[in-house]
Structure 1
Amino acid sequence: MAHDKGRDRRPLSSAVAAVALAALLCGCAREQPAVLSSNPNVPPTNYKAEILDYLRVYLNDPTGVREAYIGEPELKSIPASIFSTEQMSPAHQRYMVCLRFNAKNSTGKYEGSRDRMVAFLAGRLDTLVLARKGQCDNANWQPFPELEKLRR
């Protein structure tokens, strides 16, 4: 190995420095959690369009949705476990929309009509979850033909 003594090690050290710099920059590029500075209970004004945009991506097959119904936004007390933010306590209220539809699963078969709750934070869609028993019992259901006409 005597012939390696004079070998230039700069290419290796340059590569290590480049990787270290890239790792450092990636750490700085992470999104910091947003701090809510506005009223969390602003009524959603464009809730149907936001729900449609979300379901277009969320559903395995957004085409051919059947039996679609939607309720009006209502301010409801709900458990913190359905929110994406960590600073919630169980007593918080949010605008919620009840949603009912029958969509295709990943194998293309209809899964049956199910109720869902859509939570809004500061007037924007925050979370969609399956409704627990009784959460949508008093919803004022209206047909939601826009969901039945949804395309990819």
Structure 2
Amino acid sequence: MRSSVKIAAVVLLPLALSACAASDESKPITFTDDRGVSSQPFPKNYRTEVLAFLKTYLNDPVGVRGAVMAEPIERVVGGRLRYVVCLRFSPRESDGGYREPRERAILFVDGRLDRIIENAAEPCAGLAYAPFAELEKLTR
């Protein structure tokens, strides 16, 4: 009987631990320590932080087309008020072609870039975009 308990513990413990690290839309893994502060500071260096992040996020940051960005705006994301920066762009694919523009939201916590939201329709609804030439000029 004891051996079956040990086997169950050996099998179930890694499974339980992997579930702790998993992410879903309701509770994503973040880069910053989210203290749940309701009043968030404006992300002063948002353009620089977004460019630095996208340089590593994109498989090939060279040759981005149609890049536009909305100014930071406060939105409720995951039940908390956060600053969000919305982007729309077409990255160059590995075959040299381009897909339809992608819309992404960059979430800021405590004034720092926290994560990207790939399904950005809701947080980016109704925003006014302006050209984001710096993204189109990225190099490796």
Q: Give the Cα separation in 2 of the matches to 1:44 and 1:34.
A: 14
The answer to which of 67-76 and 122-131 deviates more is 122-131
Among 125, 128, 132, the alignment partner of 1:140 is 128
CA 1:52 to 1:77, structure 2 compared with 1: closer, same or farther past 3 Å? Answer: same
Alignment-derived partner of residue 54 in structure 1: 53
Q: Superposed, which structure 2 residues align to 1:1-150 within 5 Å?
A: 35=33, 39=37, 41-79=40-78, 91-150=79-138
SS in 2 for 1:138: coil
CA 1:118 to 1:34, structure 2 compared with 1: closer, same or farther past 3 Å? Answer: closer
Shift of 1:130: 1.8
Checking the alignment, whether the CA contact within 8 Å between 2:32 and 2:114 is kept in structure 1 is no
- Number of residues of Structure 1 aligned to a counterpart in Structure 2: 109
CA 1:148 to 1:115, structure 2 compared with 1: closer, same or farther past 3 Å? Answer: same
Checking the alignment, whether the CA contact within 8 Å between 2:32 and 2:109 is kept in structure 1 is no
Deviating beyond 6 angstroms after TM superposition, the runs of 4 or more aligned structure 1 residues are none
Shift of 1:137: 2.8
Checking the alignment, whether the CA contact within 8 Å between 2:75 and 2:82 is kept in structure 1 is yes
SS in 2 for 1:64: coil
CA 1:134 to 1:39, structure 2 compared with 1: closer, same or farther past 3 Å? Answer: closer
Q: Give the Cα separation in 1 of the matches to 2:59 and 2:99.
A: 12
TM-score (norm 1): 0.64
Q: Give the Cα separation in 1 of the matches to 2:41 and 2:133.
A: 26
Q: Give the Cα separation in 2 of the matches to 1:34 and 1:78.
A: 15
TM-score (norm 2): 0.69
Q: What stretches of structure 1 of length at least 5 have no aligned partner?
A: 1-32, 80-90
Q: Percent identity, please.
A: 39
Alignment-derived partner of residue 10 in structure 1: none
SS in 2 for 1:96: strand
Q: What stretches of structure 2 of length at least 5 have no aligned partner?
A: 1-30
Q: Give the Cα separation in 2 of the matches to 1:34 and 1:117.
A: 16
> Whose Rg is larger?
1
Aligned AA for 1:115? E
CA 1:38 to 1:135, structure 2 compared with 1: closer, same or farther past 3 Å? Answer: closer
